[in-house]
Amino acid sequence: MIPTGFAYERPASLDEALAALARGGAGTKVIAGGQSLLPLLKLRVASAERLVDIGRLTELKGIRELPDGGLEIGALSTYAEVRAATRLAFAAEAIEGIGDVQVRNRGTVGGAIAHADPASDLPALALALDYSVVLRSHRGERVVPLDGFLLGAFETAIDPDELIIALRRGPLPDGAAGAYRKLRQPASGFSIVGVAAVVATSGGSIAHARVALTGVGEVAYRAKVVEAALVESDGSPAEIAAAAAHATDGIAVRGDIHADREYRTKMAVVYTRRAIEAALSRSG
């Protein structure tokens, strides 16, 4: 199909992009890689009065190690660029399972977070790694933890005049390791259930645990009851199973043509257990 008509603007700098958003209204949308927005526009599921194309802003590209041992990823860095740069094997594996080659070469990490698709893999991975979102507008800059930034299906805490300019995290705990396990929808590659787990052990017990799920509820989320059950446990199969049983606590589990609510709930527990087991097997 053909989308409805819209105005188009391609700023030459970040400042110009922010000025364009400041002038715009509710009908203004930002486009970068276009892997999420363009299909929706073509299907007329979404519409725009004006598109602000930031895809060529080199200021928003690049992956930088921070002085404290953390990492900052420019919002226009593509999946493929992040996969090539990351030192985390499990993150590279997770990214390799996102979409197809075209999606990974064109899709951007900032776009994935801004789009907030309930079945997108990247938000779960970023939540498990404790990323924050760096936002900028003509009014200034703010940093918002990703945990809390994702409000619902295709809904975030970003203001209309703001851009995501980067994702940023602090250093990982010593010995931290992770894993991503997903039940993949064969046609689209999206997650029916996807689980990212990052753990670190100390003195024979789990000292750090982050577990995040996607595809299950209306938004990717951290399973904080699971995390609390893991910390200070010995990481035995029984302890992991008991913790994973809480994977959907407090979540309104979705049902759709790919999986009904009961099946998705059961698979959330199964894949949470698998992700934790895999992460622990790599932890040292």
Classify residue 233: in a domain, yes or no: yes
% of the chain at pLDDT higher than 90: 83
Alpha-carbon distance values, 148 to 127, 145, 166 (Å) = 10, 6, 17
- Please check whether residue 48 is in contact with residue 148, taking contact to mean a CB–CB distance below 8 angstroms: no
Would the pLDDT of 35 be above 90? no
List, for residues 71-112, the tens digit of each pLDDT value. Answer: 999 999 999 999 999 999 999 999 999 988 988 999 999 999
pLDDT at 100: 87
* Same domain, yes or no: 15 and 82: no
pLDDT (tens digit per residue) in 172-190? 999 999 999 999 998 888 8
- Percentage with pLDDT > 70 across the chain: 98
β-partners of residue 223 are none
Q: Are residues 35 and 124 in the same domain?
A: no
Count CB-CB contacts under 10 A for residue 40: 16
Tens of pLDDT, residues 219-275: 999 999 999 999 999 999 999 999 999 999 999 999 999 999 999 999 999 999 999
**Can you give the residue range of the structural domain that contains 156?**
58-169
| 2 domain residue, yes or no | no
> Is 221 contained in some domain?
yes
DSSP 5-48: P-EEE--SSHHHHHHHHHH--TTEEEESS-TTHHHHHHHTSS--
Same domain? 31 vs 102: no
pTM across the whole model? 0.94
CATH number of the domain bearing residue 142: 3.30.465.10
User: By the 8 A CB rule, do 47 and 4 touch?
Assistant: yes
Concatenating the DSSP letter of every residue in 164-217 gives: EEEEEE-PPPTT-EEEEEEEE-TTT--EEEEEEEEEEEETTEEEEEEEEEESSS
Mean pLDDT of the region 149-171: 96
